[in-house]
Structure 1
Amino acid sequence: MLPGRLLHLLGLVLLCKGQEEESPESCDDFTDLNLSHCFLGTSLSVRLLLYTRSNLACGRELHHHQPSSQPLFNPSRPTAFVIHGYRPTGAPPIWIDHIVHLLAKQDDLNIIVVDWNQGAANLNYFTAVTYTREAAFNLTSFILRMEDGGASLGSLHLIGVSLGAHLAGFVGANLKGRIGRITGLDPAGPMFTSATAEERLDPSDAMFVDVLHTDMNSFGLRGTHGHIDFYANGGADQPGCPKSIFAGKSYFVCDHQRSVFLFLCSLNHTCSLTGYPCSSYNDYLEGRCLQCEVFRPAPCPVLGYDVSRWRETLLRLGQTKLFFSTTATLPYRKLCYRVDMVTWNQYLRWGIIFIRLHSGRKFTEARIDHKVLRFEQYTSTRLLAQFDDDLQPVQKISMRISTGNVIGPRYKFRLLRVRFTPLEHPERPVMCRYDIIVEENMEVAFRPLPCESGA
């Protein structure tokens, strides 16, 4: 007979041992492949991994024909589908965990990662393209099962990256455009440049389609393909991305992948990237498209999850192109001022402008050099000045007009008025300065003044 205390301790040990042996339900992870799989080629297999606020660190694979068999899945909640693109190395996308966690911060969602890595992981890109149709039928069937279970198609949001953007479009087309929203992050260009609307993502695929372009001159698709199309830095070359092939893999993927990082940044609310309606990036840089009257009383649209607040206006306007510029690194946002100048120089001169904003010992500079500007007598000139840093308060402004003249006399420019209007911060004062003499290639500094009434 064992003493009572010993029996009690033995019972606790056995109980603890039994609890340890009851292993928790294992997580379902994104398919992890490697180059050998890509060389041999993979056949299509679509897995649907569910994440909610209750299991952000541990995906649960959904049954294609019985979504409700997973207790964490709630058909009454809005659902966001995340759809990756071509995977030439077979590795999981580095951004999957980030987008899942950030989407969960926006709303109480079913977040479903569409894992079609087996199919997307092929060295032959054209094979992956053909699989997008088959994967779309697979996902369409699943969504119809969701609808049978009580889900509303209008509450679905498909977020497709590159080739995944077209896959999302095919799903939307299969469902006759009844999907609530599709977001296309730099839709793939190769094999789609000459495609008809039925053969790629287009506005009819959902009630609202928003698209972000970052690599139109390489892996991305040119043109307009949503109700609203954002063009970061014109939609092609992105700041901070390598310009030489000697940079290796980054040279090929940096511009294209920037669309994902900009979207992630918008979800994290660390960058507020305002797009301005314009016909071209050049017109935007020249300050011709900095008004937002068509969206009033709302401001100009901001890239990201909340862009749907402008949905009714955008549907009324038709397809809308919006342009914005970014910095090379987080938080990507540039500080934009509209600069209006009235010049009174005696002789016609050409040049580029440098503007600095000073706050204490710090300064930030805008270089307006996308083209040589024309300065002539009594002429109004409007410019867009974009600064990498938001320095407040602005205590001093300096300007320099560079003409390239290195010999002979230095000509002078007389500026009757310079007006600085902050674009993203209407609560900040508009700053002016009157009757300034600027000698070419020489910097002149001045303290900004409140603008006179009507100036």
Structure 2
Amino acid sequence: MFISTCLFILVMLYVSPNNVDAGILDPFNWARSDNIEIASLPFIPWLPFENETRCYDELGCLNITRSWFHLINRPLNIFPLPRFVINTRFILYTRANPNEGAAIRPNSESLTDTIFQSEKKTKVIIHGFIDTILANWVKDMKDELLKHDDVNVILVDWAGGSLPLYTQATANTRLVALELAYLLNYLIENLDMKAEDVHLIGHSLGAHLAGYTGSLVPNLGRITGLDPAEPYFQGMPPHVRLDPSDANLVDVIHTDGKGILLLGYGMSQPCGHFDFYPNNGKEQPGCEIAQTPLIPLTVIKKGLEEASRVLVACNHIRSIKLFIDSIGSQCPYIAHQCSSYKDFMNGKCFICKPGTTQCTIMGYHLDSSPMFEETDISKRQFVETIGSKYYLNTGKENPFCHRTYRISIELAKPSIAETWVQGFLKAFILSPNGIMQIDLTPSGDVKLEHGTTYTTVVTHPADLGGNIKKIEMNWEYDMNVLEPRTLCLLWCNDHLYIKKVYIDEMEFPSRE
């Protein structure tokens, strides 16, 4: 039914002489080519016109070819709104002016060495759909960047293009990318800024906008995509979305990849050199429906704007919070390359050998991972990691970074033990840092077979540092009346027999 509806709408848009314009999406006919002949319309409605091009003065031109269309993934393509409507602005902050930004633009006296210091690295923050640079997270990220490093921070304000309907906003990102690329190339050519010193940080639509920009700026240093938007991008060719070719280093944090039909706004598809999936990249701890009673408290602490974001797009904005926390955190977000989240949770991807890409740091300090030591990022392609997935678990509130432990429990098999038992297991670990209480069955009861080894990966804010004084285990047998085999009555033995417990803390090979 959905496909039929889409086809009907597209046929009306392309075939009906009264509906050649974009209709309510574009009442002023800004988003269509200037010279369209009805007779030349293709029979298949989702195929575009050939040689549809629109130019934007010194910025260059945009076109819509067949590769930008897909019956399901991207059924409708239009041109951006005019430049004066989007009104893209660039606001520069430095340690000299951390609170009052300076508006800059190419070919202007506003760009001088005294304001923009080209010898320093440049961080560019790009907001997404229905967002502005006035959002709390933009200020928080800018402040953290300036606190941690003496850099230029440029905010890209494209609110005039991010607020229309989503289809129009996706089109507007291409024109904003032309604007940003023109500014960056101007800084490179006239103020001796190094392209490899530029780091674009984009959220949602802003991530793909960063990708378009990177394709226009040769040798761009790095792009960080924070939960890149899924609709109109997932499953599309690389030039339509963020992809590894857009910068020397492209890293992506996926936090809301359930799929748009399940109200997941982010991509699940890998689209960088390093793709991180905290908590499997779909549902983030603390974002469950059960947490909605916390909304009034968020209103009091952070304001109505933040509360509305948490309510509507908690998983989607978690990527932002994780990245901001990673900037100044002393806790490394260590992630593991693994074939699946299930294998990661079962402890099958816990080894990190020196000189390999088995583990790395998620977030701001990715380029300080051991694999980057004595490596020129601009010359390394990281081909071996493209398409791979890196997993880690985080906490439900700030600070989100937790230490990662693999706990293996070797079960004994005395003659009095049942073949298997089912229930819940907790560990109490005594260390110099205090007592750690860890739930070893967070997903519910588990079936444990005596004589085997049960392994799981858990996280905790505390760092054991390899010093454990004592471990106590708490076992609770679980009987389910709907499963007669789990009933343990009279002569049944519901005890769990443990022989040994092994605890490994994830650390980088370079650490002692």
TM category (shorter chain) comes to 0.7 to 0.9
The aligned residue for residue 368 of structure 1 is: 441
2:217 aligns with one of 152, 175, 192: 175
**Aligned AA (1:97):** K
Q: Quote how far apart the aligned CAs of 1:87 are.
A: 1.8
Q: Does 1:423 align with 2:506?
A: yes
Does 2:399 match 1:331?
yes
Alignment check: 8 A CA contact 2:331 2:402 kept: no
Q: Secondary structure at the match of 2:497?
A: strand
For residue 368 of structure 1, give the secondary structure of its aligned residue in structure 2. Answer: coil
The residue aligned with 1:72 is: 115
Q: What is the letter of the counterpart of residue 471 of structure 2? A: I
Query: For 1:321, which of 368, 382, 389 is the aligned residue?
Result: 389
Q: Is the 8 A contact 2:352 2:508 kept in 1?
A: no
Aligned residue in 2 for 1:436: none
Counterparts of 1:14-413 in structure 2 under 5 Å? Answer: 43-66=85-108, 68-69=111-112, 71-87=114-130, 92-122=134-164, 124-149=165-190, 150-176=192-218, 178-217=219-258, 218-243=264-289, 249=308, 250-293=310-353, 295=355, 300-309=359-368, 310-311=371-372, 312=375, 315=382, 317-319=384-386, 320-345=388-413, 346-351=417-422, 352-358=424-430, 362-370=435-443, 373-390=446-463, 394-405=468-479, 407-408=488-489, 409-413=492-496
Check whether the contact 1:85–1:160 (CA below 8 A) recurs between aligned residues. Answer: yes
Q: What is the deviation of 1:350?
A: 4.3
Residue type at the aligned position of 1:266? S
Structure 1's 425 and 139: CA in aligned 2 closer, same or farther, altered over 3 A? closer
Deviation readout 1:23-42 (Å, 9 max, x if unpaired): xxxxxxxxxxxxxxxxxxx9
- 1:131 match: secondary structure: helix
Identity of counterpart residues, as a percentage? 30
Give the CA deviation at 1:171.
0.6
Q: 2: distance between equivalents of 1:292 and 1:186? A: 26
Structure-2 separation of matches of 1:84 and 1:295: 35
Q: Indicate if the aligned counterparts of 2:477 and 2:495 stay in contact, CA closer than 8 A.
A: no
1:183: Cα distance to partner? Answer: 0.5
Please give the TM-score of this superposition, normalised by the length of structure 1: 0.77
Larger displacement relative to structure 2 (285-294 or 68-77):
68-77
Check whether the contact 1:50–1:110 (CA below 8 A) recurs between aligned residues.
Answer: yes
> How many Å apart are 1:279 and its aligned residue?
1.3
- C-alpha distance in 1, partners of 2:240/2:275? 18
Structure 1 residues 225-234 or 384-393, which shifts more? Answer: 384-393
3-state SS of paired residue (2:276): strand
Structure 1 residue 423: Cα displacement: 2.1
Q: How many residues align structurally?
A: 384
How far residue 394 of structure 1 moved from its aligned partner, in angstroms, is: 4.3
User: 1:153 offset after TM fit, Å?
Assistant: 1.0
- Per-residue deviation, residues 280-330 of structure 1 (Å, max 9, x unmatched): 11111111111111646x993222222113445881532232111111111
Give distance in 1, aligned partners of 2:510 and 2:197.
Answer: 35
The code of the aligned residue for 2:505 comes to P
CA shift at 1:369, angstroms?
A: 3.8
Distance 1:53 1:120 in 2: 29
Residue 55 of structure 1: SS of its match in structure 2?
coil
SS of residue paired to 2:85? coil
- Give me the whole-angstrom Cα distance separating, in 2, the residues matched to 1:383 and 1:91: 42
Query: What SS does the aligned partner of 1:129 have?
Result: helix
Q: Which has the higher strand share?
A: 1
RMSD: 2.9
Contact preservation (8 Å) 1:343, 1:377? yes
CA offsets 1:384-437 (integer angstroms, 9 cap, x no match): 2333545786443222344413641333333222111222499999xxxxxxxx
SS in 1 for 2:347: coil
Give SS of 2:214's match: helix
SS of residue matched to 1:151: coil
Aligned to 1:272, what secondary structure does the other structure show? coil
Q: Which has the larger radius of gyration?
A: 1
CA 1:131 to 1:111, structure 2 compared with 1: closer, same or farther past 3 Å? same
Distance (Å, rounded) in 2 between the aligned partners of 1:300 and 1:339: 18
Output one character per residue of 1:310-369: Cα deviation in whole Å (capped at 9) or x when no partner: 445881532232111111111112233212232232543143432222459854222324
Q: 1:389 to 1:318 in 2, by over 3 A?
A: closer
Q: List runs of 5+ in structure 1 lacking aligned partners.
A: 1-41, 430-455
**Which residue of 1 is the match for residue 81 of structure 2?**
none
5+ unaligned residues in a row in structure 2: which ranges? 1-83, 259-263, 296-306, 480-486
Q: What's the TM-score, normalizing by structure 2?
A: 0.68
Q: CA deviation at 1:212?
A: 0.6
Q: How much does 1:270 deviate?
A: 4.8
CA contact (8 A) 1:334 1:389 kept: yes
Change in 2 beyond 3 A, CA 1:425/1:418? farther
Cα offset, 1:59, TM superposition: 0.3
Shift in Å, 1:70? 6.7
| Amino acid of the structure 1 residue aligned with 2:473 | M
What is the deviation of 1:93? 1.4
Moved segments of 4+, more than 6 Å: 244-248, 425-429
SS at match of 1:288: coil
Q: Distance in 1 between matches of 2:355 and 2:443?
A: 28
Cα shift at 1:164: 0.5
Tell me: CA distance 1:222–1:426, structure 2 relative to 1, closer, same or farther (3 Å).
Answer: closer
Alignment of 1:427-442 (within 5 A): none
For residues 215 and 423 of structure 1, the distance between their equivalents in structure 2, rounded to whole angstroms, comes to: 25
Amino acid at match of 1:197: P
Question: What per-residue deviation string (whole Å, max 9, x for no partner) do you get for residues 125-160 of structure 1?
Answer: 221111000000111111111111111111111111
Letter in 2 for 1:321: K
Distance 1:197 1:86 in 2: 21
Relative distance call for 1:364 and 1:205 in structure 2 (3 A) is same
